[in-house]
Amino acid sequence: MIIYSKFNNLKPEKQKQIINAAIKEFVQSGFEKASTNEIVKRANISKGSLFNYFNSKKDLYLYLIEYGSQVIMNLNEQIDLSETDLFKRIERVGLQKFYVQQKYPQAFDFLASTKQEESVEVKDIIKQRLNPIYNQAMNKLYKDIDYSKFREGIDIEKAIEILNWTMFGIGEKGLKELVTFEDIGKFGEKYLEEWNVYAELLKYSFYK
Amino acid sequence: MIIYSKFNNLKPEKQKQIINAAIKEFVQSGFEKASTNEIVKRANISKGSLFNYFNSKKDLYLYLIEYGSQVIMNLNEQIDLSETDLFKRIERVGLQKFYVQQKYPQAFDFLASTKQEESVEVKDIIKQRLNPIYNQAMNKLYKDIDYSKFREGIDIEKAIEILNWTMFGIGEKGLKELVTFEDIGKFGEKYLEEWNVYAELLKYSFYK
DNA sequence: TTTCATATTGACTGGAACGGTCAATTTTGA
DNA sequence: TCAAAATTGACCGTTCCAGTCAATATGAAA
């Protein structure tokens, strides 16, 4: 177990800089081709500092995996099992995801990218650490949902797929527009509003 | 204007090998980081041959852009303007796209990836050559559609977005399953069948 | 079978970029 | 004021890059 004490003692703002720079590079290039030179340039720190905080590129990657795990676990805790309406539950998770993306714009892209990661140096650790946590969260997300609200004869699995694809699509679109927005709070509202329009459309289709 | 006479005289099977190997590498790594060594390895040809067919990595990339343009233009021609039902028109295009993907599995991933391409060496050419053709196709795809079939008060743009996200989702899912299928014809049928289930769901929601 | 132009190969090049190091410098706070 | 801690970037050996080219294989014409 690695303790990232050097890095954890940094000011949060600086930690954020470095995490985002690293995430961006790993998303863009994958573990092996990712360049630490590029990371330090984007994070505005020196090469020496990066290797002072983390001992190697691999350690840095593992830190991000660990951090990402915690993000998903937090998300998982936020799922309210007493809310049995699928749309409402998904809406809440979507909003939480959105708030995380304010701080780490490519956080979920990074987590998604780990699924394609092929480097033998990190593949096993991803499988062991990340996949179970991810599956657990997905299971909880759809647990105790009141599926009786759905129309007869509808393929619920397919309906959920459309929901997910739509959520994903809104997220992608929103992120592109984000550059022009300053007020995070207002954007959160706007995101919810946007989702509601799509949700209404789909609810009309899927519900009785 | 470059004439790829050396490459064009190759047997179609070999051309396909090389195109797919190159596409795969460019999708994975982008223009600059893409490795010609990796491409020749995957295409089962020698380094010398690749640089005999194409004079440089850039020429190879430009060839793929050119080839991709032609694929989109073909797709564009297949759009039947007398078919005014949005679902039917999209279904046909989806099927055509699917058939292209039989031969070049990552063709559309490659075309999509050019939008993110940042290398100054090829960026302008992408903009000049590919973007106009793409926009033209998108315009035709939604031209003369009978939008009166849609329910009052529905946001047609959003509905189309959901359609696109769903199409994209099915495509991704289908591609993952493709490995296990041998019979291309049958898979085409299956793809259509699959799309119809989702289309029915969405038609119920969007149409009067 | 011989000949010869063409197609293909992969070892090789100079140079760029890599992950990681460390002596020198700057910052910090007591 | 000054020593400890944090930060820097030039530097190291290595790896990988795009592209070259002399050597070899191929195949059709004679």
The answer to whether the CB of A136 falls within 8 A of the CB of A72 is no
Report the greatest alpha carbon distance in chain B. Answer: 62
* Confidence (pLDDT) at A99: 86
For the residues B53-70, what does the mean pLDDT come to? 96
* Confidence (pLDDT) at B186: 62
Angle ∠(B8,B9,B14) on CA atoms, nearest 5: 80
What is the DSSP secondary structure assignment for residue B29, as one 8-state letter? H
- Beta carbons of B162 and A166 less than 8 Å apart: yes
- CA-based nearest distance A136→chain B, Å: 22
Residues sharing a CB contact under 8 Å with residue B172, sequence separation 6 or more, in sequence order: none
Tell me how far apart the alpha carbons of residues B71 and B68 are, in angstroms, rounded to a whole number: 5
Residues of B in contact with A161 (CB under 8 A): 169, 173
Q: Is the CB of A49 under 7 A from strand D?
A: yes
What is the DSSP secondary structure assignment for residue B158, as one 8-state letter? H
pLDDT tens-digit series, residues B108-160: 999 999 998 999 999 999 999 999 999 999 999 999 999 999 988 788 888 89
* Confidence (pLDDT) at A172: 73
Q: Is the CB of B48 under 7 A from strand D?
A: yes
- Chain B: residue nearest A117 by CA? B28
Q: Taking each helix axis from N to C terminus, what angle separates A184-206 and A156-177, rounded to the nearest 10 degrees?
A: 160
Q: Is the CB of B10 under 7 A from strand C?
A: yes
The answer to whether the CB of B196 falls within 8 A of the CB of B166 is no
Environment class of A118 (CB within 10 Å of its CB; exposed 0-12, middle 13-18, buried 19+): exposed
The answer to whether the CB of B60 falls within 8 A of the CB of B54 is yes
The closest CB to that of A205, out of B155, B169, B205, belongs to B205
- Beta carbons of B158 and A205 less than 8 Å apart: no
Tell me how far apart the alpha carbons of residues B198 and A190 are, in angstroms, rounded to a whole number: 28
How much of chain B exceeds pLDDT 70, in percent?
A: 92
Give the count of beta carbons closer than 10 Å to the beta carbon of residue B133. Answer: 18
| CA-CA-CA-CA dihedral for B152, A162, A146, A132, to nearest 10 | -160
Q: Is the CB of A9 under 7 A from strand D?
A: yes
Residues of A in contact with B32 (CB under 8 A): none
Per-residue pLDDT band for B37 (boundaries 50, 70, 90) equals very high
- Which positions of chain D lie under 7 Å from any protein Cβ? 6-11, 16-22
- What Å distances lie between residue B108 and A6, B96, B105, CA to CA? 44, 12, 8
Nucleotide nearest to A35 (CA to C1'): C18
Is B181 within 8 Å of chain A by CB?
no
Per-residue pLDDT band for B2 (boundaries 50, 70, 90) equals low
The closest CB to that of A159, out of B173, B201, B206, belongs to B201
* Confidence (pLDDT) at B177: 61
Tell me the residues of chain A between 183 and 202 that have a Cβ less than 8 Å away from chain B.
197-198, 201-202
- Chain B: residue nearest A204 by CA? B205
The closest CB to that of A201, out of B159, B164, B197, belongs to B159
Residues of B in contact with A32 (CB under 8 A): none
Run means of pLDDT, 10 residues per run, chain A, 208 residues = 82 95 96 97 97 96 96 95 94 86 90 92 93 94 94 86 88 61 61 85 85
Is B37 within 8 Å of chain A by CB?
no
Which pairs with CB-CB distance under 8 Å and at least 24 residues apart come from A177-186?
A178/A105, A184/A102
* Confidence (pLDDT) at B117: 93
- CA-based nearest distance A193→chain B, Å: 13
- Beta carbons of A158 and B198 less than 8 Å apart: yes
Tell me how far apart the alpha carbons of residues B51 and B28 are, in angstroms, rounded to a whole number: 21
Q: Is the CB of B57 under 7 A from strand D?
A: yes
Give the count of beta carbons closer than 10 Å to the beta carbon of residue A176. Answer: 9
- What Å distances lie between residue A170 and A87, A177, A199, B169, CA to CA? 15, 11, 11, 14
Per-residue pLDDT band for B99 (boundaries 50, 70, 90) equals confident
What are the helix (H) ranges across chain B?
5-8, 12-33, 36-43, 47-53, 57-78, 86-103, 107-113, 120-125, 131-141, 156-177, 184-206
DSSP per residue, B66-101: HHHHHHHHHHHHH--TT---HHHHHHHHHHHHHHHH
- Which positions of chain C lie under 7 Å from any protein Cβ? 7-12, 17-23
Tell me how far apart the alpha carbons of residues B131 and B114 are, in angstroms, rounded to a whole number: 10
What is the DSSP secondary structure assignment for residue B127, as one 8-state letter? I
Helix (H) or strand (E) holding B153: none
The count of residues in chain A is 208
* Confidence (pLDDT) at A186: 62
pLDDT at B100 over 80: yes
* Confidence (pLDDT) at B205: 80
Tell me how far apart the alpha carbons of residues A134 and A139 are, in angstroms, rounded to a whole number: 9
- State whether the Cα torsion A119-A120-A121-A127 is positive or negative: positive
- Between B105 and B44, the more confident residue is B44
What are the helix (H) ranges across A34-56?
36-43, 47-53
Tell me how far apart the alpha carbons of residues A65 and A117 are, in angstroms, rounded to a whole number: 12
